[in-house]
Structure 1
Amino acid sequence: MKKVGMCENADKSDHSNGEEPQDADYSHLSSLSYELESLVFARFPRSEYWKLSFVNKRCLALLNSGELYKIRKEIGFKESSVFMLAIGESSWWSFDRELKSRRKLPILPSDSCFSLGDKESLCAGTHLLVSGNEIDGLVLWRYELAKNKWYKGPSMISPRCLFASATCGTSAYVAGGVGAAANSEVYDSAEKYNQNDGSWELLPRMKRRRKLCSGCYMDNRFYVIGGRNEHGELTCGEFFDETTNKWKLIPDMLKDDPVQLAHSPPLVAVANNELYSLEASSNQLKMYLKNTNEWKHLGPVPVRTDGSRGWGIAFKSLGNQLLVVGASSAGNDMAIYTCCPDANTGEVQWRPVDSGRIRLSHFILNCSIMVA
């Protein structure tokens, strides 16, 4: 790093001794330490990190090592990023929390079967995991934020699709789903991914087999909600508590939800440790009342969900906010809204996000939130 002399342009007005002025000598002062420099860089907005790679080789190595993200975690400095794959796009896009800046990710180097097929996505720490079907079977690809690259694997213990998932820090949970075979049985198994060593850990089996289910993390528990099995639609939910290493069933959790033919998995998200649902058949936002196992209606959501039975809609937790992306109520343009629901009053004020410059299809195939 270049040492900057604070008096390089010294005041030349006082020359009473007749000597020419000279730059001050600060060679005895040490340059900014690498530790302090790293702390400063760690507080940069993540959307600006790409600029550090052009500073010098040390900054590039610091970025690629992932050390900045470890420092951010230690000092509690985190930001949310929104990763989206819209229909018609060959690459994923990354957006900052306000969806003001965006960046196209490198093209995922999978085969055509994976690119054209259905996929599930989730985040764990600085890893974006995308599961799908290649010609040789189900695989998992991971995007590492620090290196800005895609890597294949590690595969789940039981590779699956149509599963529920949730994120908790550098860990992620998956449960349910089915295998790659057309006649594959519906799973009741669950696994936990650890970003630190890239490993999958087998969890106890759920109380019910289920596919096309949804997951969330709330009250330090992994919840799995709804879905279907060989007996039909499931209105129950259940949660996994790591302190007891057991699953607990929640009967009739979705008992009031209208059943639509070929509908999407339940659209659920958590904000301020409260669970919210977007009812696809009516475009209504609901809040889960934990004490009574009931849902409270909070009013309409300003996107169209009924026309596609919930498919193509992104409904996600964005810190203390809810994020919804889909078709605008007036037409087929992309609409993006956020809100900070008040759990006490039930008041919801949706704030539109200017999506005119994003120019993606309103049909969102995959959306995941990364906090790092």
Structure 2
Amino acid sequence: MLMVIEDHGLVKPYVIMHAGAESSWEIFDKDFKNFRSLPTIPSSDYCFFHSDKETISVGTQLIVIGREIEGIVVFRYELENNKWFRGPLMITPRVMYGSASDGKTVFFAGGIQMDDNGNPIVVRTVEKYNADTKMWTMIYGMHKSRKFSSGCFLRGKFYVLSGRNENDKHLTCGERYDEATNSWELIPGMLKDINFITSSQAPPLIAVVDDNLYLLEISLNELRIYDINTNVWKKLGSVPVSANAVFGWGVTFKSMGDRLLVVGTSHSWSRTTVFYSCQRSPYVEEQHWEELKYWCDDTELPRFIHNCCVMFA
């Protein structure tokens, strides 16, 4: 197995993926030519290994949140130590939230929380985690309770897009949080023109590059860019993966430095997992996607990517 190439003193993106093995995450360089496996998460709880998990990077830490028999648990991987640690727990443990990181801070908004009687409730609760202090802090809650939403940082503000409410209905509104004023602004109709295939489709597939917000429109396999001034999404051509075949689940759409990254099943009859990146050009309508030749001991990744995030180190 190849090891990740280290360029000491340089900050570069690494892609961390979880593609099906019970406790295995792999970290790749940006060209997917070199990689290594992370150590096994130190949990013996079968519930954690076999249930869904949510992953995000903050600083040089990888945060993995999942469910053990006794409740929701947080694990963090520290790149400098090449080691996993348990905790610290969220103040209000929950899953299916919208999240995004900005440097060494990551925000978690909404999601599903269990009440005192063990019943799931959709919340508007928001808290942030600091990678330096390893502490959670509550911040002012959103206007709307929402689950299965997506989050991003755009032009210095934390955005939460779409999701489903307590009645399991899709929300077309978004919200943005200004940390300087500790306040939320509701954005009506932010996803009003986006098609929802099914009530159980994946959260919006979004990514930010060069202070521009992009979306992979699941139903049409199209790339779109958001005009922050007019609240409109402009079409930028097709994306070379079949996101609609699995309602957006198992597909990776991320920013990777100055490029967009998409990983999913191909449009071809073979339905293999393919990797493409795109450097946005403002001068053409149809964006050019470059295939990345994935190398991994002459084997192929599963067709379903469970978790993926990008770490800068």
Letter of the structure 1 residue corresponding to residue 228 of structure 2: K
Q: Tell me, in whole angstroms, the C-alpha distance in 1 between the residues paired with 2:67 and 2:302.
A: 23
When structure 1 is superposed on structure 2, of 178-187 and 142-151 the one drifting more is: 178-187
Q: Which of these residues, 121, 127, 130, is aligned with residue 55 of structure 2?
A: 121
Q: Tell me, in whole angstroms, the C-alpha distance in 1 between the residues paired with 2:250 and 2:151.
A: 17
Shift of 1:180: 4.5
Question: Deviation per CA, 1:280-300, whole angstroms, max 9, x where unpaired?
Answer: 111111111111101111111
Question: Deviation per CA, 1:259-279, whole angstroms, max 9, x where unpaired?
Answer: 222100011111111001001
Question: Deviation per CA, 1:141-177, whole angstroms, max 9, x where unpaired?
Answer: 0000001111110111111100111111111111110
Q: Give yes or no for the alignment of 1:243 onto 2:180.
A: yes
Q: Which of these residues, 88, 100, 107, is aligned with residue 40 of structure 2?
A: 107
Report what 1:315 is aligned to.
253
Q: Which of these residues, 272, 275, 280, is aligned with residue 341 of structure 1?
A: 280
Q: Tell me, in whole angstroms, the C-alpha distance in 2 between the residues paired with 1:351 and 1:316.
A: 15
Between the two structures, name the one with larger relative contact order (CA 8 Å, sep ≥ 6): 2
Q: Which runs of 4+ in 1 moved over 6 A?
A: none
When structure 1 is superposed on structure 2, of 173-182 and 127-136 the one drifting more is: 173-182
Q: Which of these residues, 197, 205, 221, is aligned with residue 133 of structure 2?
A: 197
Q: Tell me, in whole angstroms, the C-alpha distance in 2 between the residues paired with 1:363 and 1:89.
A: 14
Q: Tell me, in whole angstroms, the C-alpha distance in 2 between the residues paired with 1:90 and 1:137.
A: 18
Q: Tell me, in whole angstroms, the C-alpha distance in 2 between the residues paired with 1:78 and 1:187.
A: 36
Q: Tell me, in whole angstroms, the C-alpha distance in 2 between the residues paired with 1:201 and 1:346.
A: 43
- Higher normalized helix content (fraction of residues): 1
Question: Deviation per CA, 1:289-334, whole angstroms, max 9, x where unpaired?
Answer: 1111011111110011111000000101111111000111113211
Q: Which of these residues, 277, 281, 291, is aligned with residue 219 of structure 2?
A: 281
Letter of the structure 1 residue corresponding to residue 308 of structure 2: C
Q: Give yes or no for the alignment of 1:223 onto 2:147.
A: no
Q: Tell me, in whole angstroms, the C-alpha distance in 2 between the residues paired with 1:49 and 1:257.
A: 41
- For 1:1-372, what aligned pairs fall within 5 Å after superposition? 47-49=4-6, 72=9, 77-88=10-21, 90-110=23-43, 111-180=45-114, 183-231=119-167, 232-261=169-198, 262-330=200-268, 331-343=270-282, 345-357=284-296, 359-372=300-313
What TM-score, normalized to structure 2? 0.93
Shift of 1:359: 2.2
User: SS state of the match for residue 47, structure 2?
Assistant: helix
The 8 Å contact of residues 132 and 140 in structure 1, kept in 2 or not, is answered as: yes
User: SS state of the match for residue 123, structure 2?
Assistant: coil
Q: Tell me, in whole angstroms, the C-alpha distance in 2 between the residues paired with 1:185 and 1:343.
A: 43
Report what 1:23 is aligned to.
none
What percent of counterpart residues are identical? 44
User: CA RMSD for the aligned pairs?
Assistant: 1.7
Letter of the structure 2 residue corresponding to residue 239 of structure 1: R
The structure-2 alpha-carbon separation of the partners of 1:102 and 1:355, relative to structure 1 and needing over 3 Å to count, comes to: same
Letter of the structure 2 residue corresponding to residue 314 of structure 1: T
Q: Tell me, in whole angstroms, the C-alpha distance in 2 between the residues paired with 1:275 and 1:343.
A: 14
Question: Deviation per CA, 1:32-58, whole angstroms, max 9, x where unpaired?
Answer: xxxxxxxxxxxxxx93459xxxxxxxx
Q: Tell me, in whole angstroms, the C-alpha distance in 1 between the residues paired with 2:226 and 2:51.
A: 33
Gaps of 5+ in 2: none
The 8 Å contact of residues 213 and 226 in structure 1, kept in 2 or not, is answered as: yes
Q: Tell me, in whole angstroms, the C-alpha distance in 2 between the residues paired with 1:135 and 1:89.
A: 16
User: SS state of the match for residue 103, structure 1?
Assistant: strand
Q: Tell me, in whole angstroms, the C-alpha distance in 1 between the residues paired with 2:81 and 2:156.
A: 30
Letter of the structure 1 residue corresponding to residue 277 of structure 2: T
- Mark the structure with the bigger radius of gyration: 1
